[in-house]
Amino acid sequence: MLRVDDNFDGGNIEVIDISLEKVSLNIKKDSKSDEKQWFYFRATGIKNIRCNFEIANASTVSYPEAWPTCSIVASYDRKSWFRVPTSYNGETLSFNLQAERDIAYFALFEPYSYERHLDLISWSLTQDNCTLLSYCETLEQNQIELLQIGTRSNDKKNIWIIARQHPAETMAEWFIEGLLKKILSGTSLQNKALLDAATFYIVPSMNPDGAIAGNLRTNGAGIDLNRSWLNPNKLTAPESHFVFEQMKSIGVDLFLDIHGDEDIPYAFIAGSEGNPSYTKELALLDTFFRAQFNKATPDFCVENGYKANLPGAGDLRIACNQVGEYFNCLSLTIEMPFTDNKYQPNKIEGWNAQRSMALGAVVLTPIRNILPKLTKTKNSDCTQIN
């Protein structure tokens, strides 16, 4: 007998109708908001059946424009994920699989579980150079960890990197895992040079409530955290409130906010050129960083994914803009694709966890190269906080 369910961490699907020929499904909206697009479910009892799945409410999701080029992922063991041919007729999203095993999982992108998140935090803290600087509790009593890599000094630049404000953008936490593994394992001269010149402050997952609930964009109060930074509300957006207050105590000389974009088929950067206080110097730094990133890997593209904001028109509710404006520092959003990099396509796996981790490791190269060009911001000091 065929069964479909989402009763696990990050799961999201609603069964409308089920038969051996066709399974009709809906994507659930976020737990406290109307956003929806993420799905992740398992199908049991499908071995040797050509099972056709149909997402009936696909046209009503937050970004339906992403569907025509979308290719969803499946897995038998939740470790190895492969692309499944997917089609969209303007109303429903369809895919099918001739399953080789009794159970198969399907998702919009390779998931990143809360268990894996806990493993990543614990592993990081067993490595030299990594400490838990601070943490905050979310509305659902989960925890956000702020990791400090390296020692603090007035001579060093403060680099802040946060990920997964939008919980469905799991590639962002894969990116952080790649970065942490690269900077914490190994005693390369490059790592030493980096940590002699900079201290890293890293939040691997900004939105565990949304991630566990299987949300697309919002937290436990239905807030899109990346629209909450103008004046983060401690009660409804404790996640961004916590991180922004920590930033004010420590200072920020470079900020990277890691995301995924459902529609645009390559990894790119969105800058903060619309900020009221944006300068020519910041524009030059932005261009330099992108060029160095692209030189380091063909999986990062210098092509602009979003139309640049007009001067002064930047939305200061967005983390990248608010942090750049407040600290007068280089502040960038890094976006990765859900399906593939159209310039370096891989038909079987597309863009996946491995490539996200590789991008996270290689981002240390443009960071290292830009460090001498960054100036310390006015709020940057080495006062220890509790």
Residues annotated as catalytic (active site), given as ranges = 335
To the nearest whole angstrom, how small is the minimum distance from the Cβ of residue 336 to Zn ion? 10
**Among candidate residues 304, 316, 323, 317, the one with its CA nearest the CA of residue 261:** 304
To the nearest whole angstrom, how small is the minimum distance from the Cβ of residue 179 to Zn ion? 17
To the nearest whole angstrom, how small is the minimum distance from the Cβ of residue 257 to Zn ion? 8
Count of C-beta atoms within a 10 Å radius of residue 239: 30
To the nearest whole angstrom, how small is the minimum distance from the Cβ of residue 297 to Zn ion? 21
46 or 163: whose CB is closer to Zn ion?
A: 163
334 or 361: whose CB is closer to Zn ion?
A: 334
Residue 48 burial by CB count (10 A; 0-12/13-18/19+): exposed, middle or buried?
A: exposed
What is the C-alpha to C-alpha distance for residues 307 and 201, in angstroms, rounded to an integer? 29
What is the C-alpha to C-alpha distance for residues 227 and 322, in angstroms, rounded to an integer? 10
163 or 184: whose CB is closer to Zn ion?
A: 163
Q: What angle do CA 363, 367, 368 make, to 5 degrees?
A: 115
Q: Which amino acid is at 24?
A: S
Kind of pairing between the strands at 40-44 and 50-55: unpaired
Q: Is residue 164 part of the contact set for Zn ion (CB under 5 A)?
A: no
Question: How many Cα atoms occupy the beta-carbon half-sphere of 284 within 13 Å?
Answer: 5
User: Near Zn ion by CB under 5 A, which window of 45-53, 124-132, 256-264, 293-301?
Assistant: 256-264
User: Near Zn ion by CB under 5 A, which window of 130-138, 143-151, 200-208, 257-265?
Assistant: 257-265
Kind of pairing between the strands at 198-203 and 254-261: unpaired
181 or 227: whose CB is closer to Zn ion?
A: 227
User: Which 113-142 residues touch Zn ion, going by CB under 5 A?
Assistant: none
Residues 6+ apart with CB under 8 A from 310: 274
64 or 251: whose CB is closer to Zn ion?
A: 64
Contact 173, 204 (CB under 8 A): yes
User: Near Zn ion by CB under 5 A, which window of 6-14, 79-87, 144-152, 158-166?
Assistant: 158-166
What is the C-alpha to C-alpha distance for residues 36 and 29, in angstroms, rounded to an integer? 5
Contact 108, 338 (CB under 8 A): yes
To the nearest whole angstrom, how small is the minimum distance from the Cβ of residue 52 to Zn ion? 31
177 or 253: whose CB is closer to Zn ion?
A: 177
Q: Which of 28, 29, 32, 166 binds Zn ion (CB under 5 A)?
A: 166
Total residues contacting Zn ion by CB under 5 A comes to: 3
Q: Is residue 259 part of the contact set for Zn ion (CB under 5 A)?
A: yes
User: Near Zn ion by CB under 5 A, which window of 122-130, 159-167, 179-187, 312-320?
Assistant: 159-167
Kind of pairing between the strands at 72-75 and 81-84: antiparallel
What is the C-alpha to C-alpha distance for residues 345 and 281, in angstroms, rounded to an integer? 35
User: Which 169-188 residues touch Zn ion, going by CB under 5 A?
Assistant: 169
What is the C-alpha to C-alpha distance for residues 170 and 179, in angstroms, rounded to an integer? 14
To the nearest whole angstrom, how small is the minimum distance from the Cβ of residue 87 to Zn ion? 25
To the nearest whole angstrom, how small is the minimum distance from the Cβ of residue 279 to Zn ion? 26
User: Near Zn ion by CB under 5 A, which window of 82-90, 174-182, 252-260, 319-327?
Assistant: 252-260
Structure tokens at 286: 């932005």
Q: Where are the beta strands (DSSP E) in 99-179?
A: 103-107, 130-137, 143-149, 157-163
Q: What angle do CA 302, 369, 340 make, to 5 degrees?
A: 30
163 or 202: whose CB is closer to Zn ion?
A: 163
Binding residues for Zn ion, rule: CB under 5 A, are 166, 169, 259
